[in-house]
Amino acid sequence: MEKISILNRFDRNNYFSYPYPFFFIDNAYEDKIYSYLEGDYKLFHNYFEKNTQYKENNIRLQISTEEFFDSNLFQNSIWKDFIEFHTSKFFFIELMNIFEKDMEIIYPKINKIIKEKNNDINFLNIRNEDNKKKFQFVADCQPGINTPNALKSSVRDSHLDNTAELVAGLFYLKDDNDKSTGGDLQVMEARQNKKAIFHKKSSVKNITDLKLFKEIEYKKNKVVFFLNTSNSIHRVSPRSVAKIPRNLTNIIFETYLPDNKLFSINSTKTRLITKIKKIIGL
């Protein structure tokens, strides 16, 4: 089953620590395995086409690991093996070993938990509301699409992910018939002597104070992972008009236990203002 690891072709030359830790992998799978993954992706298309939102322009639709295993539609698919492996303890440790040096600097406490408590019964499980309260880490693997778009648009401008998220990955499966451009992951950094200001669910307010550090092209069989930190600002470049969906699978590991807090987006002043507004009913 380890043959299905998305990290088999990891190359340290494609690892970056600045502006935040991330890496990418070109041609993550050999042709045979990728062809199986690509072929069975039509099962997800069939699933999402029944969603009333499918006809909306360039929005994200995805299925969680819990929903995937509750359904009988995918059980004979290679995606069953894919999702089982990429939400496993074995894969999580394999992935975090790649980030180890940066983890030791950024999240030394979390790094210690991963090393010393990975055999504990409450170490890792699939993400759901109950497991968030019981386990050190929760995992989710979410095959999904961005719906076809009639107008050039982006699904998300510069932002940070959920502060409970420790690490996130994207697996791109661009269709050979998809001739659209854009939809690329853009790693952003603040301009010199500037600092990002956040609003509306971790979106960056002062986007003109950011600049592009690196663009990870949306293409078939490509993978990108990043460590989620207070600097992990990223966005998706505008995608041109497309008549077919944009295929991508999201892999995340999160921690919700209070003692494992990763970082906070808002400043002390912002939190205080929010608290005062709540008290006086604004």
| Half-sphere exposure in the Cβ direction for 97 (13 Å, CA) | 9
The helix (run of H) or strand (run of E) holding residue 280 is helix 268-280
Could you give the number of structural domains in the chain? 1
Instruction: Report which of 224, 199, 181, 223 is spatially closest to residue 20, judged by C-alpha positions.
Output: 224
Q: What residues in the chain have per-residue pLDDT under 50?
A: 267-278, 280-282
Q: How many helices (H) and strands (E) does the chain have?
A: 9, 13
Task: Output the six-digit token pair for 46.
Answer: 């069939």
On whether residue 1 sits in a domain, the answer given is no
List of residues 6+ apart from 135 with CB closer than 8 A:
122, 123, 124, 125, 257
Backbone angles phi, psi at 92, to 5 degrees: -55, -45
- Is 86 part of a structural domain of the chain? yes
Look at residue 266 in the predicted model and tell me its pLDDT.
Answer: 61
Residue 39 domain flag: yes
Residue 101 lies in a domain: yes
Judge whether 136 lies within some domain: yes
- Rounded Cα distance between 173 and 12, Å, is 22
DSSP 8-state class, residue 184: -
Is 93 within a domain?
Answer: yes
- Domain containing 210 equals 7-280
Q: What's the predicted TM-score (pTM) here?
A: 0.91
Structure tokens at 215: 């663009």
Whole-number pLDDT of residue 177 = 93
**Would residue 94 count as lying in a domain?**
yes
In a domain, 2, yes or no: no
Instruction: Tell me the C-alpha distance between 91 and 51, whole Å.
Output: 31
Q: Report the C-alpha gap between 141 and 250 in whole angstroms.
A: 6
Per-residue confidence (pLDDT) for residue 275, from 0 to 100: 45
What is the per-residue pLDDT for 191? 92
Q: What is the 3-state secondary structure (H, E, C) of 20-82?
A: CCEEEECCCCCHHHHHHHHHHCHHHHHHHHCCHHHHCCCCEEECCHHHHHHCCCCCCCHHHHH
Q: What is the CATH number of the domain that holds 12?
A: 2.60.120.620
Is the separation of the CB atoms in 167 and 225 below 8 Å? yes
